Structure 1
Amino acid sequence: MKIFFLMKKSGYLRNYASVVRLLAARGHRVQLGFLKIDEIYPRTAIDQEVKDIPGVSYIIPPKRIWLWKKPAEFIRVLQTYLRFLDPYYNDAYKLRARAAAMLPRPVSWLVRLIVGHNRNRLWAVVNVLRIIERSLPLDRAILKFFRSNRPDAFLVTPLIDMSVSQLDWLKCARALGINTALGVASWDNLSNKSLIQIEPDVVLVWNKNQEQEAVEFHRIPAEKIIITGAQCYDRLFERRPSTSGEEFRKKVGLSDKGPYILYLCSSGFIAPREVDFVADWIDRLRRSPDPQLNRIGVLVRPHPQNANQWGRVNFSDHENVAIYPRQGANPIHGDSLNDFFDSMYHSVATIGINTSPMIESGILNKPVLTVLAPQFKDTQNGTIHFHHLVDGGLLNISQDLDEHLQQLSRVLANRKSYQARIKDFIRSFVRPHGLDKECTPIFVEAIENLNQSTVLSPADVPQWWPLVRLLLFPWAAISFTVRRFNSYLQNNSW
């Protein structure tokens, strides 16, 4: 098979590197496409990843200046906002505000007035918007690309980012009769991003939770959903540390003897001023009457996209506390990956607010704790994906720091009692086909089976499409002209 795999940002390659390697090993040709190169996976890292894999190449599609971009973008972003008016999201204030910020304020106000929190009205408006969207022409540049490259399958991730920037690629692939699949990139994507606004032939999810979300929140037919497990975590199950516990503690600046707990920081959206909470947490830890808490090592690992706040933080008033790596690091290759893994492996427990490494700590059978701090209410209880960790049994939850310290004492005194519960969570959430069964081959087989599936016919274009285009053309033309002019100025600046 010839497969074109489109990712919004190069950083998503981290989630699918094992998939690309196995597809190539099985004789398939894989062309990767990145709409943007980010700092997580710069060109040097991409080159290092693909240089020795026969049959794998990558492109960065040129930035498009499509005539209908702004009307299409508005229709899609409006659907993104509408999903957060669903009654299921009544408490998701921050998620709703993030989507509303992408629209003019009068528009979001009017939509709330019309729809309220009525699910039937919401979906009625969404369906009208989708009919209007189908009236817009296909992007000729993308059609030309697909006709020239002629892939057998089109794989896309994450598709459901807030601005739905990859939707035109899926729309064109479907119009040309190419097999299509969506790889759900992370555990939160189906609950706190946009809607799947155009159905692919197949949606590849991690577990039963995501299958339910795809059906209930996105209205994807259950027969189109394949549970593969979380292939992005396969690398952790057999990995071994690159250092001894003593070597690692010395490296990061902790006492070379004794246990330490690892604090895993969250993204800027989840915890914008996390440093204040961590400082308070460490202070309370050191004032605890429990000797194992007031002396235990503490390693704080900043989130790579939220590390600036840690630049001048100094915990020298407290013994055996370290921040590493202070500037944050993306655990992709080499030392950065070793440090990330070793920090979890050598810890006795991990603490955090709401972040993916909590799951990775669970894979290593580490107790995971969190505190329901008031300042993080909207990004803990106010998000659906957080409750997967709670309901699944991974997280040990406290309502405040006093309760947390008592709980932490119990966990450290009897860590083995938590291991069965942690394994049950990993078995259901990460490896639903069995703890000893890698997820990457299951994902790859689902892609290979696309050739045997019936390709979805593109949705019908409404008969009144000329009227829609006529009404939207002035908006499209003006915005197109402005973008062309701005592009000219950028390319011809002194």
Structure 2
Amino acid sequence: MENRKSKILFVFRSYNHLPTFRKSVRLLADRGHEVSVLFHGGLTDNTLEEIRQFEGNPDNITYDWTMPSQRGGTFVFHSREVLNYRKHLLKAGGLQFYAERWRGYLHPKLQKIFAWRIARELVKTGLAGWFLKLIERLTPPQSDVLSHLRNLNPDIVAVTPLNQRYSSMELEYLKAAVTLGVPSVLLMGSWDHITSKGIYHIVPDVSLIWNEEQVQEMWEHHRIPRDNLRIVGAPTLDHWLDFDDPTPREIFCKNYRLRPDDSIIMYCCSSNVIIGSETASVTELRKILDESADERLKRTQIIFRPHPKNFKIYEKLQLPGVTVIPRGDVLYGKLEGQRIFYDTLMHSSLVFGINTSAMLDAMLLGKPVIALYKDQYTATQVEMYHFNSLLHMGAIEFAKTPDEIRKAILDIFEGRDVRKEKRERFIRDFIRPRGIKISANEVIADEIEDILKSSKHSLLF
């Protein structure tokens, strides 16, 4: 896409958010734009030198820290968190998981206040919402952020994720951009950010979202209209477009002491927000297979994949018939880690789990998914908006009893993939709405250039 060369600023909550949008950043730099990338240092484990070394200092891209936050413990900090809590109270109905989780993020004194029903009812009123939002409107951006933005002089500011707890610096840079009249863009990094996180205290000019379902979510949860939205697909799953053939099965199995002639099930763990430890669940799955009358199920091997943010508790896990891959740091966002994930998915017959975004990865690579359902998981499965998308579209199998689990697995082993058509429709509608082979990151880069081209904003100092 032809466009004048511009200064583009990306502001990420932490370095962990860059991998999802790395391709967009590099594409825009390759097209000749001057790209600056900022991270909130207080939320990033890596040093700036480590980041620059890993990213390779490509032409036209600079990496640096944001200004440090000055909001911690301030009145506006707490008002933002109460607004986030209020959002989930208003949407809760009979589903209390999100509201209760966010109440736990509040200051202990506020937690005690909102333990009272009358306080919860009062904060849900329109007057309370108006007052809390007024605090945001009357609070100017951090002065050092304004100065930093003036010095960088970007033509556009792109931020993510913007609405997580203890609001980080991408919110302050967006606030400064809006104040200075700089065009702004929100990048949507996950399938649940719209529904399960907080509100958007400052609304950008354009939000680049995944699909039509998120169009509805943006209106229902944030009152952001369609005119402010553009559908790009799921950038977090773009990396699979770069993979072709997996490591040969014989070599893969030899590397991990698996039997190449026997089936493999991949158990993908959820984050610790969903469930603390899944040792009991994978132990139960192993027992269900071992007690089967079918020899194929007895010989089925389980690959147990820890969640990237909850891997340490499994570093010493040892279970017969269960292989932990990878053991230790899962190398999130790095090519080696993605290759391990790709190989384990491709050599597995199906994916098993409770509620994890790895189910999306599995479906995109053509793998059936079985979700273990138990009453104790209700709050973290059927009461979660994003997981309900999978259920309503019929893209995954839901199994509760040992017999249901064994039958679902055997159906897949014997070629009765009853969810295949609905799974493929889910991929087309939810993950790749712009085209099954179209990179969402390429669409994001195109959309940013289109916004730059059509924008009449300019910084005048």
* TM-score, normalisation: structure 2: 0.91
Number of residue pairs aligned between Structure 1 and Structure 2: 450
Q: Which amino acid aligns with 1:26?
A: R
1:136 pairs with 139, 150, 153, which one? Answer: 139
Q: Does 1:151 align with 2:158?
A: no
- CA 1:421–1:238 in 2, change beyond 3 Å: closer, same or farther? farther
1:96 to 72, 88, 99: 99
Give the deviation of 1:92 after TM superposition.
3.4
TM-aligned CA deviation for residue 280 of structure 1: 1.4
Q: 1:88: Cα distance to partner?
A: 4.1
Residue aligning to 2:415: 414
> What CA distance in whole angstroms lies between the structure 2 residues aligned with 1:46 and 1:2?
21
Cα 1:219/1:249, change in 2 over 3 Å: same
CA distances 1:408-433 after superposition (whole Å, capped 9, x unpaired) = 21122115554332211111111112
**Alignment match of 2:227 (pick from 223, 232, 238):** 223
How do 1:372-391 residues align onto structure 2 when only pairs under 5 Å count?
372-391=373-392
**Within 2, Cα distance between the matches of 1:184 and 1:135?**
27
Tell me what 1:24 maps to.
29
- How far 1:91 moved relative to its partner? 1.5
Kept in 2, the 8 Å contact 1:34–1:59? The answer is yes
- Cα distance in structure 2, aligned partners of 1:415 and 1:173: 54
- Cα deviation digits, residues 78-117 of structure 1 (max 9, x gap): 0111111124453232x22221122245534645634756
The structure-2 alpha-carbon separation of the partners of 1:227 and 1:196, relative to structure 1 and needing over 3 Å to count, comes to: same
2:19 pairs with 14, 20, 28, which one? 14
> Taking structure 1 as reference, are residues 40 and 357 closer, same or farther at Cα in structure 2, changes over 3 Å only?
farther
Q: Secondary structure at the match of 2:89?
A: coil
- Choose which of 155, 162, 167 in structure 1 pairs with 2:165: 162
After the TM superposition, which residues 36-435 of structure 1 pair with which residues of structure 2 at under 5 Å, given as runs?
A: 36=41, 43=48, 46-48=51-53, 50-51=55-56, 53-65=58-70, 70-88=74-92, 90-93=94-97, 95-105=98-108, 107-108=110-111, 110-111=113-114, 113-114=117-118, 116=120, 121-165=124-168, 166-316=170-320, 318=321, 321-414=322-415, 416-435=417-436
The Cα offsets for residues 62-82 of structure 1, whole Å up to 9 and x where unpaired, read as 42446x861111010001111
**Structure 1 CA distance, aligned partners of 2:136 and 2:241?**
44
Change (3 A) 1:74 1:367: same
Preserved contact between residue 76 and residue 135 of structure 2 (Cα < 8 Å): no
Structure 1 window deviating more from structure 2 (51-60 vs 215-224): it is 51-60
CA-CA distance at 1:307 after TM superposition: 1.7
Q: Is the counterpart of residue 445 in structure 1 residue 455 in structure 2?
A: no
Give the deviation of 1:439 after TM superposition.
Answer: 1.9
Question: Do the aligned partners of 2:266 and 2:344 also contact (CA within 8 Å) in 1?
Answer: yes
Alpha-carbon distance in 2 for matches of 1:288, 1:360: 29
Moved more, 30-39 or 291-300: 30-39
Match of 2:38 among 29, 33, 37: 33
CA–CA separation in structure 2 for the residues paired with 1:343 and 1:241: 12
In the alignment, the residues of structure 1 paired with residue 53 and residue 121 of structure 2 have an alpha-carbon distance, to the nearest angstrom, of 49
2:222 match: secondary structure: coil
Residue aligned with 2:167, SS: coil
| Contact 2:41/2:65, CA 8 A, preserved across alignment | yes
Q: Which has the higher contact order (CA 8 A, sep 6+)?
A: 1
CA deviations on 1:307-350 (whole Å, 9 max, x unpaired) are: 2222332213x4xx311112240343343221111110111101
**Structure 1 residue 259 displacement after superposition:** 2.1
TM-score of the superposition, structure 1-length normalised? 0.85
CA contact (8 A) 2:7 2:35 kept: yes
The alpha-carbon deviation at position 455 of structure 1 amounts to: 5.8
Q: Is the 8 A contact 2:27 2:442 kept in 1?
A: yes
CA distance 1:302–1:253, shift in 2 (3 Å) = farther
The Cα offsets for residues 444-474 of structure 1, whole Å up to 9 and x where unpaired, read as: 1211122324669xxxxxxxxxxxxxxxxxx
Worse-matched range after superposition: 51-60 or 400-409:
400-409
SS in 1 for 2:74: helix
Instruction: Write the letter of the residue equivalent to 2:150.
Output: R
SS at match of 1:440: helix
Residue 476 of structure 1 aligns with which residue? Answer: none
- SS of match in other structure, 2:247: coil
Q: Are the aligned partners of 2:308 and 2:332 in contact in 1 as well (CA < 8 Å)?
A: no
Whole-Å Cα distance in 1 between the matches of residues 135 and 284 of structure 2? 52
Q: Write out per-residue CA displacement over residues 108-132 of structure 1, whole angstroms, 9 at most, x where no aligned residue.
A: 464563475699x445422321112
Contact 2:304 2:325 in 1 (8 A): yes
Higher deviation after alignment, 236-245 or 1-10: 236-245
- What SS class does the counterpart of residue 27 from structure 1 fall into? coil
CA shift for structure 1 position 400: 3.2
Q: Which runs of 5+ in 2 are unaligned?
A: 1-5
Q: C-alpha separation between the residues in 1 aligned to 2:432 and 2:140? A: 41
- Structure 2 counterpart of 1:352, one-letter code: G
Q: What is the CA–CA distance in structure 2 between the aligned matches of 1:117 and 1:412, rounded to whole Å?
A: 52
Give the superposed CA RMSD. Answer: 2.4
Q: CA deviation at 1:40?
A: 8.1
Contact 1:249–1:255 at 8 Å: present in 2 too?
yes
Matched residue type, 2:167: V
Give the Cα separation in 2 of the matches to 1:332 and 1:104: 33
- 1: CA distance, partners of 2:55 / 2:340: 23
Question: How far apart, CA to CA, are the structure 2 residues paired with 1:92 and 1:328?
Answer: 33
User: Alpha-carbon deviation of 1:268?
Assistant: 1.0
